[in-house]
Amino acid sequence: MSDIFTLVFAELVSVPNFLIAVGSVLLGIIIGCIPGLTVTLGIILFVPLTYGMDTITAFIGLLGIYVGGCYGGSISAILINTPGTNSALATTLDGYPMAQAGRKNKALSISLFSSVLGGFLAAVVLLFAAPPIARVALRFRSPEYFALAIFGMTVIAGVSNENIVKGLMSAAVGLFISFLGLESLSGTLRYTFDTILLFAGVGLLPALIGFIALNQVIIKSVSYKLEIDSPEGSVDDTIADPPVKFFDLLKLVPTVVKSTIIAIIIGVMPGAGGDIASFVAYNEARRSSKHPERFGKGTSEGVAAAESANNAVVGSALIPLLTLGIPGDGVTAVLLGAFILHGLIPGPKLFTDQAVITYSIIIGLIFCNVILYVLGRLFTKQVAKVINLPYGVLGVCIIFFCFAGAFANSGNINEMFLIVPIAILAYGMHLFGFSIVPIMLGLILGPILEENFTRSMIVSDGNLLIFFTEPISCGILIFSVVFTYLVMRMNKKMAVVHQ
């Protein structure tokens, strides 16, 4: 084991990996702080750039964007009351009142400290919790993996807005698209309509670019076009007050630790992402506070609770992803896609077959949190100025990356053409209230579901009851149903809180 850690540290302190970590965390902060650019979008656009990198460097870059983006979301939440990411919504409750009271820098420094400490602690938990879970999961076979993939689909319950039926239908669209083209087990062609365009199926990356990135460009371009006639004026980005002193920040440690523990528990559950974790942690901080009446009016504990929670989710969401191959939310679903694109299958074997890569990713996450603190202290004021960047400029640049990324996936111009009809389909589904994240889950989990379903059918002579006669598989499926119900209930409560 010590040999592995020696290799891991040698990898992490190498100049390319260090530079990528610094660059990606900074890029993540910028992406996170611009309302309309999401962490998911940032990671999707970054994936094509990682093709020329080795696996460890690639994932340090992707995690750097994730870590930086979670903190970056709080910058616009605090300064303009508009969260850069969904998970920073709870930060607006006390962050913006602090900014209005002339305490912008104090709110930002609390946010940075809490984000880093929460993210750091969760990454340490990931380091120690993941290997034992992976050892247990090593006993799993096809029925259990199929059940786990079904469990992964329970994320749908958390992201289906008001109607879970629409969420399931969105997932079915994603599943169907993932089944197009050549089937891997038998080599059968499916729904190619005799066009060479569909022989290899729809590539995962072009599909993600079309469904998520290009679709967002259409949505955001329309709203920006409508805003052009009634501009709101630029944001006051002057940050004049001094930051909170380090000694005073230490007083927030109990709140941060408690919020981190809450977020770790919530973060490992599929479907319950950073937004739910930050609201639950915020509510708990208010409930247990000696001065609950100060919450919502600009209290430090409110910002600390929300921010430590949403950054802690980064580490905890990686626990089911790395050990079981289950994505916890939209961002980890894209990361799962990135693993597959780099030829890695997340799951228990990752800890034995690819130990150096796996531990480099986990310890790299800890490194990224440390780098976040340094970059946040140095550049938050400068990065805050990009909030004023017009979408006209950003949108065009995102389009460049979308098309270049889709082409880079396989060097096939057909894949670049595919992203346009996919984006149009996604926009249509968005208009009709169909959530896009389940499509993404269907696309990514589809091949895993099918492979393990077919293998289970072959070993059981087509007996569907195999999923229920195998105790672990049966347990996971029952838990999936119970869990879906719990997440739906939690969502209803969250909807009330949001209102």
310 near 113, Cβ under 8 Å? Answer: no
Is there binding between residue 379 and other proteins (CB under 8 A)?
Answer: no
Q: Binding to other proteins (CB under 8 A): which residues in 52-91?
A: 52-53
Is there binding between residue 137 and other proteins (CB under 8 A)?
Answer: no
DSSP state of 163: -
Is there binding between residue 192 and other proteins (CB under 8 A)?
Answer: yes
192 near 181, Cβ under 8 Å? Answer: yes
Q: How is 143-205 classified by DSSP, letter by letter?
A: HHHHHHHHHHHTHHHHHSTT-HHHHHHHHHHHHHHHT-EE-TTT--EES-TT-GGGTT---HH
Position among 193, 233, 287, 290 found at the interface with other proteins (CB under 8 A): 193
Q: Please report where in the chains the tokens 């209930």 appear, as a residue.
A: 489
d(CA 271, CA 481): 13
The span of 111-119, 277-285, 368-376, 451-459 binding other proteins (CB under 8 A) equals 451-459
3-state SS class at 35: coil
Nearer to other proteins among residue 254 and residue 392 (C-beta) = 392
Nearer to other proteins among residue 10 and residue 185 (C-beta) = 185
Is there binding between residue 200 and other proteins (CB under 8 A)?
Answer: no
Nearer to other proteins among residue 214 and residue 334 (C-beta) = 214
d(CA 358, CA 276): 27
Q: Binding to other proteins (CB under 8 A): which residues in 410-429?
A: 411, 413, 416-417, 419-420, 423-424, 427
Q: How is 348-416 classified by DSSP, letter by letter?
A: TTHHHHTHHHHHHHHHHHHHHHHHHHHHHHHHHHHHGGGGG--HHHHHHHHHHHHHHHHHHHHS-HHHH
Is there binding between residue 157 and other proteins (CB under 8 A)?
Answer: no
Position among 9, 176, 379, 468 found at the interface with other proteins (CB under 8 A): 176
Is there binding between residue 446 and other proteins (CB under 8 A)?
Answer: yes
Is there binding between residue 440 and other proteins (CB under 8 A)?
Answer: no
Q: Binding to other proteins (CB under 8 A): which residues in 261-280?
A: none
Rounded to the nearest whole angstrom, what is the least distance from the CB of residue 374 to other proteins in the complex? 25
Residue 385's nearest CA partner among 241, 240, 233, 238 is 238
Is there binding between residue 186 and other proteins (CB under 8 A)?
Answer: yes
Retrieve residue 261's tokens: 């523990």
Is there binding between residue 190 and other proteins (CB under 8 A)?
Answer: yes
Position among 136, 138, 228, 497 found at the interface with other proteins (CB under 8 A): 228
d(CA 443, CA 174): 5
Position among 9, 179, 379, 468 found at the interface with other proteins (CB under 8 A): 179
The span of 4-12, 32-40, 213-221, 467-475 binding other proteins (CB under 8 A) equals 213-221
Rounded to the nearest whole angstrom, what is the least distance from the CB of residue 192 to other proteins in the complex? 7
Q: Please report where in the chains the tokens 């009142």 appear, as a residue.
A: 97
Rounded to the nearest whole angstrom, what is the least distance from the CB of residue 170 to other proteins in the complex? 9
Nearer to other proteins among residue 113 and residue 401 (C-beta) = 401
d(CA 473, CA 489): 24
Residue type, 46: F
Retrieve residue 87's tokens: 């998970």
d(CA 486, CA 256): 26
Position among 51, 141, 200, 468 found at the interface with other proteins (CB under 8 A): 51
The sign of the CA dihedral 274, 276, 277, 282 is: positive
Q: How many residues bind other proteins (CB under 8 A)?
A: 72
The span of 125-133, 135-143, 245-253, 387-395 binding other proteins (CB under 8 A) equals 387-395
Is there binding between residue 482 and other proteins (CB under 8 A)?
Answer: no
3-state SS class at 132: helix
Nearer to other proteins among residue 133 and residue 168 (C-beta) = 168
